[in-house]
Amino acid sequence: MGRYIVRRLIWVVFVLLVITFISYMIFFVMPSTDPAVVFAGRQPTPELVAEVRHQFGLDHPWPVQYALFVKRIFLGDQYGWPGLGFSFNTRSELKPIIFSRMWVTIQLAFGAAVVWLLIGIPIGILSALKPRSVFDRMAMGFALFGVSAPVFFLGPLFLYLFWFKLGIAPGSGYYAIGVYGIGPWFSHFIMPWIVLALLYAAFYARMTRANLIETMGQDYIRTARAKGLSERTVVLKHGLRASLTPVVTMFGLDLGGLLGGAFITETVFNLPGIGAYAIKSVGSGDLYAILDITIIAGFFITLMNLVVDVLYAFLDPRVRYT
Amino acid sequence: METLKRSSRVLAVVGVLAIVATACGGGGEEQASPSGPSTKGGTYRTAIEDFGFTNGFDPTGEYLGTAWGLYSDLISRTLVTYKHIEGVPGDEIVPDIAESWETSADGLTWTFHLKSGVMFGPPLDRAVTSKDIAYAFQRINTKSLIAQYGNYYAGVIEGLTGDAKSPSTPISGISTPDDSTIVFTLTKPTGDFLFRAAMPATAPIPEEVGKCFTKAGDYGRFVISSGPYMIDGEDALDTSSCKAMEPLSGFDPDKFMVFVRNPNYDAATDSPDVRSANLDGVVISIDTNTDDIFNKIQSGDLDGSWASLPPKTLEQQYLTNPDLKDNFHINSGDRTWYITMNLLVPPFDDVNVRKAVNFVIDKTALQKAWGGPAHGEIATSVEPPEVLPETADYDPYPSPNHEGDVQAAQDAMKQSKYDSNGDGKCDADVCSDVLLVSRNIPPWTDMNPVLSEDLAKIGINVKIRELETSTAYTTIQTLDNLIPIAANAGWGKDYADPYGFDFFIFNSAGIACSGQVNYSELGMTKDQATECGPKVLAAWNAATDNGKTPLPSVDKKMDECYGLLDEARATCWTELDTSLMEEAVPWVPYLWATVFTVTADSVTHWEFDQFSGALSFAHIAVNNGLDPTSVPVG
């Protein structure tokens, strides 16, 4: 298992290098904005553009720029380690911006994950135990709604209804727990968590239901019942464990993807996360910000893949890695 | 039991009705008149999707109009300034740090006499001197600080070349005989020098702080105030050494800006006509959701917008509801939206074709695409009315209701070499599949079909390429793309003088292989064409018949107008504008855009700053009584 983990970690690094290389190529090869021109003002003389290009490190051939970028990531730059460079937009180092935005995204992603697990899995279990009942039909109706109502629809609807009209929820924005306390922090996060979680909860409810129905029809479940085990033990200890394996896989991928930025939720609820920053950076051609976010998103997705695969081995004793 | 159940049902219905009533009901607060007397105190709370600073708020290079409003209204006094009010009076120069000035008879020497008592904010706690203003110019002169509008000073003030290696390098054309006198020696008479002296890059910068920031943008989070307000946290700045300095806590470029009163500001050194300084502070938060910004204004969580465009539905609400009209402000934005034609590329290398295009475009339809008259007045010439009032009514290509005059357009086309059969339509191959660059967002997506249809009336069939905004600009800024015609561009004033509006977009100095803004290539020389490659040179040769018929140019006329003052200056620029529209014809101007601002009922006095093109922080007043440091910035 140890060797397997090490091999996978090396693979993570390789994947990140490929992703950033492709991003660099896209930035320079595809027709796009020239950051040196964009950031030299609205009447950029050739001298101004040249100076901007020099200060932004854009006056080397792009393969050289890429090599310098990789070197700085691993060895650090003038701002420390990791060397995330500086923002063309704000003319300041990217590390504090990226890290503070990552922290917001982590809070959003994990909070939503807790909500969707708390909603989706119990609904899926109860639906599976009472198939074709009224509860089951309502649950699957909820799943259909959750899948069909996207965040860019639900988010503004929630804000309009619960904040603007009814006044029972606070408005948008991020209120750091360390600055404003747990009350404002929680109250400003609860709507984004719910809106983001609804889609995933719907998927998880359906998946849990389908897997559990299949598992509960297995011979070993009938054997467990025949042995006199309580229904609770049969469902929770034997049925659920087997049926949750694919759910765990999905959870890892979903969480990894969210950690790369839930940009719609962040934009709608004005949360200064990494997803919203990605959109802003792409729009303004802020090269190093784009690359840093690409690395972070890629890192979390590949890392979560690894975590899920390792967890798989613990959940399913038939799975072994060498 | 039945009674209890019925009571419960009644209660439930009442409860639902109460919720519905709350949801449907409006606010009941009395609305303050925004043109009423100013209240003192309170905080103007606003939000914006992104600050959009071009130089990290470092005044030496910052080229964003709304940033200029923050400097000029709040934290940076200059030798001269504006009244920060709307309209033509808002574009007039008035004294600020300088109490008086005189010019030598030859127009080459400008001497300014500074007021006493103008102070920097804490922790500096000292008077602003002439040397601080000279230092600001030295920073403009420093190459590494990338003064984005340094062209207004380089080559104008003796010794200021823009190439200095360090901001401590003195400039030979600027002398400070004493702390309250500064003398500028110019290379040539410059009629709009006072406007240039009002630009934020010239505001005094203390060298003891500025010397620590030698790269473009670095000083932006440490700006020391000379105005009635300062960035929150300025008083806590540790100036004992460069290493000790931490960015001001009241400015996070990613999240917020908080302005508080400068305790060292002496209103006696200022004028209430220039800065009423009613507010106790200003808080600007970042909110990536535009709808959310305007919802917060309506709910009272914000006091007004700043530079965000309200959604169309909200705009309609404010325009049609008489109870809301006092909260919706429409002001001239001093910006012209236009269609640009490339003089190097057929068929637009023929002036008669360019005239025909001017005649045929239905400007009323374009205005409608923008949202109607509220979004701007139809533009009939280059300069916005506040920049050159003399040409406000000048219309060299009239048509009934500005809907285009097809007959006049076809008559013009008949004069061109591309209409061989004299039917008023272009019949040459160069009029087929003509690339027109535009933007991929409204209102351009609504404008594009109008342009396509109008141009077809004179035989020009366009292939429209809708691009993302900055990509569209980069495309037309790259000379060897040789884009024939483009509708994506607009141009706003830097200051209310035609030089500041016209120079780079019509002078050959504005031509460059990349990053150019003279998209028409007006006045392009052979050397410039050669520098940009064989494709451009070939186009230039074709357009000028190998140099025998040079491209139209306004360079000489601009030189003539450059040093004039007052009425002579206005007359000269009027003649230049006429020449542009009737002889060179590089553009079809179609809209003089307006700016919308929405305010909440908490705003008791509203004013617009014509210089910055946004609300006037210098004069606005609110009645919320909030302390700026207590406003959560999220």
For chain A, the domains span: 2-75, 98-315
Which amino acid does the sequence have at A318?
Answer: R
Q: Report the chain A residue with the minimal C-alpha distance to residue B54.
A: A39
Of A48, A100, A272, the CB nearest to B146: A48
CB hemisphere CA count around B553 (13 angstroms): 15
Closest CA to A261 of A133, A165, A151, A135: A151
Contact list in A for residue B53 (CB cut-off 8 A) is 89-90
pLDDT over threshold 70, residue B11: no
CB distance B295 to A164 below 8 Å: yes
Six-digit token string for B191 = 């009629």
Helical residues (DSSP H) of B244-307, grouped into ranges: 290-299
* pLDDT tens digit sequence for B538-564: 999 999 999 999 999 999 999 999 999
Six-digit token string for B470 = 């900055």
CA-to-CA distance for B562 and A110, rounded, in angstroms? 63
Query: How sure is the predictor about B133, in pLDDT bands with cuts at 50, 70 and 90?
Result: very high
Tokens 């010397």 -> residue: B211
Task: Please report the pLDDT score of residue B19 as a whole number.
Answer: 41
- B230 DSSP 8-state letter: E
Q: Is the CB of A165 less than 8 angstroms away from the CB of B218?
A: no
Six-digit token string for B458 = 């004179």
Task: Please report the pLDDT score of residue B441 as a whole number.
Answer: 92
pLDDT over threshold 70, residue B30: no
pLDDT over threshold 60, residue B33: no
* pLDDT tens digit sequence for B483-505: 999 999 999 999 999 999 999 89
Task: Please report the pLDDT score of residue B413 as a whole number.
Answer: 98
pLDDT-above-70 percentage for chain B: 94
CB distance B44 to B620 below 8 Å: yes
Q: Is the CB of B474 less than 8 angstroms away from the CB of A47?
A: no
Contact list in B for residue A38 (CB cut-off 8 A) is 470, 474
Which of A27, A30, A38, A48 has the most B C-beta neighbours within 10 Å, making it the best mutation to test the interface with B?
A48
CA-to-CA distance for B137 and B112, rounded, in angstroms? 15
Contact list in A for residue B61 (CB cut-off 8 A) is 41
Task: Please report the pLDDT score of residue B194 as a whole number.
Answer: 97
CB distance B172 to B178 below 8 Å: no
What number of other Cβ atoms are within 10 A of residue B441's Cβ? Answer: 13
Which of B49, B144, B148 has the most A C-beta neighbours within 10 Å, making it the best mutation to test the interface with A?
B148
The helix/strand/coil state of A73 is: helix
CA-to-CA distance for A86 and B81, rounded, in angstroms? 34
Q: Is the CB of B19 less than 8 angstroms away from the CB of A166?
A: yes
Contact list in B for residue A175 (CB cut-off 8 A) is 632, 634
Task: Please report the pLDDT score of residue B252 as a whole number.
Answer: 94
Six-digit token string for B99 = 């109490």
For chain A, what is the radius of gyration of the CA atoms? 24
Q: Report the chain B residue with the minimal C-alpha distance to residue A175.
A: B634
Closest CA to B424 of B406, B436, B438: B406
Task: Please report the pLDDT score of residue A235 as a whole number.
Answer: 79
Task: Please report the pLDDT score of residue B10 as a whole number.
Answer: 43
Q: Is the CB of B253 less than 8 angstroms away from the CB of A156?
A: no
Of B247, B292, B517, the CB nearest to A43: B517
Q: Is the CB of A272 less than 8 angstroms away from the CB of B53?
A: no
Contact list in B for residue A98 (CB cut-off 8 A) is none
Q: Is the CB of B301 less than 8 angstroms away from the CB of A41?
A: no
Tokens 């009425």 -> residue: B567
Return all residues near A122 (Cβ < 8 A) that are at least 6 apart: none
- B416 DSSP 8-state letter: S
What is the DSSP pairing of strand B328-341 with strand B434-439?
unpaired
CB distance B437 to B467 below 8 Å: yes
pLDDT-above-90 percentage for chain B: 89
Six-digit token string for A305 = 């893949």
Q: pLDDT by residue for chain A (322 residues), tens digit each?
A: 778 778 888 888 888 888 888 887 887 766 556 777 777 777 778 888 888 888 888 888 888 888 888 888 888 888 888 888 888 888 888 999 999 999 999 999 999 999 999 999 999 988 888 888 888 888 888 888 888 888 899 999 999 999 989 999 998 999 999 989 999 999 999 999 999 999 899 889 988 988 888 888 888 888 888 888 888 888 777 777 778 878 888 888 898 888 877 899 999 999 999 999 998 888 777 888 988 898 888 888 888 888 888 777 776 666 665 5
CA-to-CA distance for A273 and A291, rounded, in angstroms? 16
Task: Please report the pLDDT score of residue A238 as a whole number.
Answer: 78
Of B56, B301, B470, the CB nearest to A33: B470
CA-to-CA distance for B148 and B53, rounded, in angstroms? 12
pLDDT over threshold 70, residue B23: no
CA-to-CA distance for B117 and B266, rounded, in angstroms? 7
Q: Is the CB of A280 less than 8 angstroms away from the CB of B50?
A: yes
Q: How far is A173 from chain B (nearest CA, A)?
A: 5
CA-to-CA distance for B575 and A307, rounded, in angstroms? 73
Task: Please report the pLDDT score of residue A161 as a whole number.
Answer: 93
Q: Is the CB of B289 less than 8 angstroms away from the CB of A172?
A: yes
Of B148, B215, B292, the CB nearest to A48: B148
CATH number of A98-315: 1.10.3720.10
Tokens 């603007």 -> residue: A164
Q: Is the CB of B148 less than 8 angstroms away from the CB of A276?
A: no
More confident residue, A69 or B275: B275
User: For B40-51, what is the mean pLDDT?
Assistant: 96
Task: Please report the pLDDT score of residue B463 as a whole number.
Answer: 97
Contact list in A for residue B468 (CB cut-off 8 A) is 283
CA-to-CA distance for B21 and A165, rounded, in angstroms? 10
Q: Is the CB of A43 less than 8 angstroms away from the CB of B221?
A: no
Helix (H) or strand (E) holding B605: strand B603-605
Task: Using the Cα atoms of residue A144, residue A145, residue A146 and residue A148 in order, give the sign of their dihedral.
Answer: positive
Residues linked to residue B94 through DSSP beta bridges, in sequence order: B81
Which amino acid does the sequence have at A180?
Answer: Y
Q: How far is A206 from chain B (nearest CA, A)?
A: 32
What number of other Cβ atoms are within 10 A of residue A137's Cβ? Answer: 12
Contact list in B for residue A287 (CB cut-off 8 A) is none
Give pTM, 2 decimals: 0.89
Closest CA to B214 of B402, B381, B60, B438: B60
Please give the ipTM for the structure prediction.
0.84
Return all residues near A172 (Cβ < 8 A) that are at least 6 apart: A159, A163, A188, A268, A269, A270, A271, B287, B289, B292, B634
Work out the mean pLDDT of chain B and round it to a whole number: 93
Of A51, A156, A172, the CB nearest to B146: A51
CB distance B344 to B518 below 8 Å: no
Helical residues (DSSP H) of B377-490, grouped into ranges: 406-414, 444-456, 469-477
Task: Say what the alpha-carbon torsion angle B406, B412, B413, B414 is, to the nearest 10 degrees.
Answer: 110
Six-digit token string for A30 = 């595809």
CA-to-CA distance for B46 and A146, rounded, in angstroms? 34
What length does chain B have? 634
3-state helix, strand, coil in chain B (%, to 5): 35, 20, 45
Q: Is the CB of B517 less than 8 angstroms away from the CB of A270?
A: no
Contact list in A for residue B289 (CB cut-off 8 A) is 172, 267-270
The helix/strand/coil state of A217 is: coil
Six-digit token string for B520 = 């028409």
Contact list in B for residue A45 (CB cut-off 8 A) is 151, 512, 515
Query: How sure is the predictor about B25, in pLDDT bands with cuts at 50, 70 and 90?
Result: very low
Of B19, B291, B474, the CB nearest to A37: B474
Q: Is the CB of A37 less than 8 angstroms away from the CB of B514?
A: yes
A and B: number of Cβ contacts within 8 A: 149
Q: Is the CB of A172 less than 8 angstroms away from the CB of B215?
A: no
Q: Is the CB of A173 less than 8 angstroms away from the CB of B254?
A: no
Which of A28, A264, A270, A282 has the most B C-beta neighbours within 10 Å, making it the best mutation to test the interface with B?
A270
Helical residues (DSSP H) of B258-337, grouped into ranges: 290-299, 312-320
Phi, psi of B99 (to 5 degrees): -90, -25
Q: How far is CA B545 from CA A64, A156, B341, B549, in A?
A: 44, 60, 19, 6
Q: How far is B319 from chain A (nearest CA, A)?
A: 21
CA-to-CA distance for B19 and B577, rounded, in angstroms? 61
Task: Please report the pLDDT score of residue B4 as a whole number.
Answer: 37
Q: Report the chain B residue with the minimal C-alpha distance to residue A166.
A: B23
* pLDDT tens digit sequence for B357-402: 999 999 999 999 999 999 999 999 999 999 999 999 999 999 999 9
Q: Is the CB of B23 less than 8 angstroms away from the CB of A165?
A: yes
Of B54, B255, B299, the CB nearest to A39: B54
Which amino acid does the sequence have at A159?
Answer: L
Q: How far is B1 from chain A (nearest CA, A)?
A: 28
Q: Is the CB of A42 less than 8 angstroms away from the CB of B254?
A: no
Q: Where are the beta strands (DSSP E) in A74-152?
A: none
Which amino acid does the sequence have at B194?
Answer: L
Q: Is the CB of A42 less than 8 angstroms away from the CB of B148?
A: yes
User: For B607-618, what is the mean pLDDT?
Assistant: 97
The helix/strand/coil state of B603 is: strand
CA-to-CA distance for B577 and B584, rounded, in angstroms? 10
CA-to-CA distance for B509 and B512, rounded, in angstroms? 8
Q: How far is A51 from chain B (nearest CA, A)?
A: 7
What is the DSSP pairing of strand B621-622 with strand B603-605?
antiparallel
CA-to-CA distance for B359 and B337, rounded, in angstroms? 17
Which of A42, A179, A263 has the most B C-beta neighbours within 10 Å, making it the best mutation to test the interface with B?
A42
Distance of CA B234 to the CA centre of its chain: 28
Residues linked to residue B45 through DSSP beta bridges, in sequence order: B283
Task: Please report the pLDDT score of residue A321 as a whole number.
Answer: 59
Q: How far is B445 from chain A (nearest CA, A)?
A: 19
More confident residue, B67 or B31: B67
The helix/strand/coil state of B590 is: strand
The helix/strand/coil state of B624 is: coil
Of B254, B468, B474, the CB nearest to A272: B254
**b/e map B143-163, b = 16+ CB within 10 Å:** bbbbbbbbbbbbebbeebebe
Q: Is the CB of B513 less than 8 angstroms away from the CB of A46?
A: yes
What number of other Cβ atoms are within 10 A of residue B109's Cβ? Answer: 15
